[in-house]
Structure 1
Amino acid sequence: MASAQTGPGIEQRFATSLTALPSEKLGITGSFYVPAYSSVSLSEGRLRADFSVTLNIHNASETRPLVVRRIAYFDTNGKPVQSYLKEPVALKPFATIEVFIPTTDVRGGTGANFIVDWAADGPIAEPVIEALMLGGLGSGQYAFISQGRLVKVIGGN
């Protein structure tokens, strides 16, 4: 899988949204699957619309940090495309981080997706993880959201 994106990483771009990693054991862990569409087929032929993708990861807890362990991007065939974290980061309560994929980056294709692995040191509100796709075709502009789906939780609230 390709390494983190070029330019400033999440750690630098969202420094004010981050806090120190908890020193306590991370007894609750989970994974989200987030469908993303860098391209959408408009017909069975080669006609397609390309979209930018913004993945947002929101800590919905008012009191606990949310540790994000992995943000991985996969293409239509399930092949790893890119990893967006060099090491885990902890989001402050109610803080958000994001990953942006420009319209010109169509490596993900029509069935792209993210896996986001997270953890917490105790009971925590379930994170809110969504992908926003934005693009145009002709004179029209289109935007739609894909909500992440919790696919694994270990530990409990």
Structure 2
Amino acid sequence: MGKKVFLMWVILFLISFSFVNVSISADQPPGLSRGQMIYVPSYSHIYIGNKERFLLLTITLSVRNIDPNHSIRINHVDYYETQGKRLKKCLDKPVILKPLESYRYIIAEKDQSGGSGANFMVEWASEIPANSPIVEAIMIGTQNQQGISFTSRGRVIVLDKK
């Protein structure tokens, strides 16, 4: 009789625990957010060969609202150099992206100020929970009839709000 009672308590505990998890996330489905800060690695140049020669790159920052039903607001887009100093404030005022709309910002190939550790910080927001945008940098460059291109996807970061 004791084993059956114990087993019943274990089952009830596990069932109640699983309902708690469901109710915690039920108000906002996974992947939806009201806003985030996104770090996007980029490269104004990359090193080639053994002598630390570098190849200059054009950077295109792409922010894509992948939510088919809701607009999002891009509040800030800032461009930083390798040592973390902000080089450019890329937006004068917030930009609204309608469903499935995209925004782009270009750093010219001749602008090597960002260095090999350049990056963007992108802050977006929404009045209601929306799908997080895809934010990536596309780098492309050519030298001596050869070309290189690659992408770098942004990563959500959490800011310490003291």
Q: TM-score when scaled to structure 2? A: 0.74
2:132 is aligned to 126
1:13 is aligned to none
CA distance in 1, matches of 2:52, 2:155: 30
Higher RCO by CA contacts (8 Å cutoff, separation 6 or greater)? 1
Choose the corresponding residue for 1:112, options 101, 104, 118.
118
The answer to whether residue 96 in structure 2 is matched with residue 90 in structure 1 is yes
Q: How does 1:3-152 map to 2 (within 5 A)?
A: 28-43=34-49, 45-152=51-158
List structure 1 segments (4+ residues) > 4 angstroms apart after TM superposition.
none
Larger Rg: 2
CA distance in 2, matches of 1:44, 1:69: 41
| RMSD, aligned α-carbons | 1.5
1:33-73: per-residue Cα shift (whole Å, max 9, x none)?
00000111225644111100000000011111110000000
- Unaligned runs of 5+ residues in structure 2 are 1-32
For residue 152 of structure 2, what is the amino acid of its counterpart?
Answer: S
For residue 72 of structure 2, what is the amino acid of its counterpart?
Answer: L
Q: How many residues align?
A: 127
- Unaligned runs of 5+ residues in structure 1 are 1-26
For residue 117 of structure 2, what is the amino acid of its counterpart?
Answer: G
CA distance in 2, matches of 1:106, 1:44: 20
CA distance in 1, matches of 2:74, 2:55: 31
Write 1 or 2 for the structure with the bigger share of helix.
2
1:12 is aligned to none
More displaced stretch, 101-110 vs 40-49: 40-49
